Amino acid sequence: MKYVRLIAFILLYLAVYFIVSNYISVLFIVLSLIKELVKNPAALFDEALHDKINLEIMYDYIGSSIWFMVAAAVISFPIYALILRLRKKRITKFCEFHRISFRHVAITALMGISLNFIVEYFVSVTSLDDLSPYVEQILNQIFDNNDFLAILISIGIVGPFIEEVIFRGLILNELRQNMPVVPAVIIQAILFGVYHGNLTQGIYATFLGIVMGLVCIKMNSIWAPVIIHMFFNSTSTVLGKLVDPQIFVRYQYLMLFGSVVLFIATSVMTWRDNERVMGTE
């Protein structure tokens, strides 16, 4: 019975953000279609014009999708808080919004940056992008149609925050209350990978989910994976806008080596800090 309850809550957490996101998307498409049909009533009878309008709407939709994510996050978070309140729990306590030291902020930020370079190199050498070619096209369109600040806020800050609340906050802690840590971390990581909806991101997101799940538990705070996730996403955003891509090609092995060393160093520091805390209890 407890596992039925567990599955029900996990599905609820996933459904809230999914439904809100899709509701906003559908609303945008419907309103855009109505607006275009008012301007061009002939599209109701002209199939070619109707198809052209649909393509324009979808193009605008993809370009505006980052703001749908922001809106969905703003709407979903209080819904999650309400769900937990009905269960007589506080979202800040259940998701472990505990303060972390400046040292841990620095460690997790550097870990996020190093993971970005490692994953980018892995994707490039394995041609992982070929598994989901449309994903890169969509991302390029989003980057082309939005300015740097908009991308940084949505993809670099808001998106990582709400995803961490869902997966390392709600789902991971729900799992930890019903099973040992290892399967809990693995299950939430797999769900995080599946959530991305494509093989390319799904594969490396599962790996990232495991890392961020472990760090969350070690540091006893959701802010740790939030910072990792934010710096992981923001690194691509910042470097993609400000740095010549040829620099990455020229120094890829040096950057990979430095990133691996940095990831190992930050992982060791995370583990040792945890051991010190445990030793003082």
Is pTM beyond 0.85? Reply is: yes
pLDDT band at 271 (very low <50, low <70, confident <90, very high): confident
- What was the pLDDT predicted at 56? 78
Where does the chain have alpha helices with state H? 2-39, 47-86, 91-94, 102-126, 133-145, 148-151, 159-164, 172-176, 181-195, 199-219, 223-242, 245-250, 252-280
In this structure, of 7-11, 82-86, 193-197, 275-279, the range with the lowest mean pLDDT score is 275-279
Query: In sequence order, what are the residues at sequence separation of 6 or more whose Cβ sits closer than 8 angstroms to the Cβ of residue 56?
Result: 36
- What was the pLDDT predicted at 30? 86
Average pLDDT over residues 75-92: 96
- What was the pLDDT predicted at 280? 33
Which has more confidence, 253 or 21? 21
Average pLDDT, the chain: 88
The two structure tokens encoding residue 218: 């070690």
CB 215 within 8 A of CB 90: no
User: What tens digit of pLDDT does each residue of 145-196 get?
Assistant: 888 888 999 999 999 999 999 999 999 999 999 999 999 999 999 999 999 9
User: What tens digit of pLDDT does each residue of 84-131 get?
Assistant: 999 999 999 999 999 999 999 999 999 999 999 999 889 888 887 777
- What was the pLDDT predicted at 104? 94
- What was the pLDDT predicted at 130? 78
State how far the Cα of 211 lies from the Cα of 205, in Å rounded to an integer: 10
- Residue 1 is classified by DSSP as -
State how far the Cα of 188 lies from the Cα of 79, in Å rounded to an integer: 21
State how far the Cα of 187 lies from the Cα of 172, in Å rounded to an integer: 8
**Residue among 239, 252, 211, 264 nearest 122 (CA):** 252
State how far the Cα of 50 lies from the Cα of 40, in Å rounded to an integer: 9
Q: What are phi and psi of 90, to 5 degrees?
A: -105, 135
Average pLDDT over residues 11-40: 88
- What was the pLDDT predicted at 42? 66
State how far the Cα of 208 lies from the Cα of 206, in Å rounded to an integer: 5
**N- to C-terminal Cα separation, the chain:** 35
Which has more confidence, 89 or 250? 89
CB 78 within 8 A of CB 203: no
Question: Can you tell me which residue has the tokens 């930020």?
Answer: 109
- What was the pLDDT predicted at 274? 54
User: What tens digit of pLDDT does each residue of 202-242 get?
Assistant: 999 999 999 999 999 999 999 999 999 999 999 988 877 67
